[in-house]
C-alpha cells in the first residue's frame, strides 16, 4: 500500500462529510481509531493519529474498496470527531442507566 499523507489537518464538524464518515460502522471506526472524513480526487481521506498504521489503513481499504489517503489529526480531535459522528442522535442508540437496589 502506498502511504502518502498530508501534514496535520484540523477536523471540525463542518469539514467532515457525514455520509462518508458512515461508510464504516461505529464499531470499526472506534476499534481502528480512524475516521473517514471525505472523498477527494477519488480517494477516501481518513483521519488518523499515525499514518504508519498500515494494518488499519489496509483494513479500511479492504472494507470500503476505495483508495485510502491518511490525514493526521490529534487524538483529542479524532476522539471528538468520532463521538460527534456516532452520537446517540446519529445512531439511534440509547444508553440506559442501571439503578442500584437503593433506587428500586
Model confidence over 18-75: pLDDT tens digits? 889 889 999 999 999 999 999 999 999 999 999 999 999 999 999 999 999 999 999 9
Evaluate the CA torsion angle 7, 14, 20, 30 in order and state its sign: positive
Q: What is the pLDDT of residue 87?
A: 81
* Residue 7 falls inside a structural domain: no
* Residue 3 falls inside a structural domain: no
Asked if residue 34 lies in contact with residue 46, where contact means CB atoms within 8 angstroms, the answer is: yes
* Residue 70 falls inside a structural domain: yes
* Residue 87 falls inside a structural domain: yes
* Residue 8 falls inside a structural domain: no
Global confidence as pTM: 0.75
Say how many domains are in the chain.
1
Domain hosting 88: range is 13-103
Amino acid at each position: 500500500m502506498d502511504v502518502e499523507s498530508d501534514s496535520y489537518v484540523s477536523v471540525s464538524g463542518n469539514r467532515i462529510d457525514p455520509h462518508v464518515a458512515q461508510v464504516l460502522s461505529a464499531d470499526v471506526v472506534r476499534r481502528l481509531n480512524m475516521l473517514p472524513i471525505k472523498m477527494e480526487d477519488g480517494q477516501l481521506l481518513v483521519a488518523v493519529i499515525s499514518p504508519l498504521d498500515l494494518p488499519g489503513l489496509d483494513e479500511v481499504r479492504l472494507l470500503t474498496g476505495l483508495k485510502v489517503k491518511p490525514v493526521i489529526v490529534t487524538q483529542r480531535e479524532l476522539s471528538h470527531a468520532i463521538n460527534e459522528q456516532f452520537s446517540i442522535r446519529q445512531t439511534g442508540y440509547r444508553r440506559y442507566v442501571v439503578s442500584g437496589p437503593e433506587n428500586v
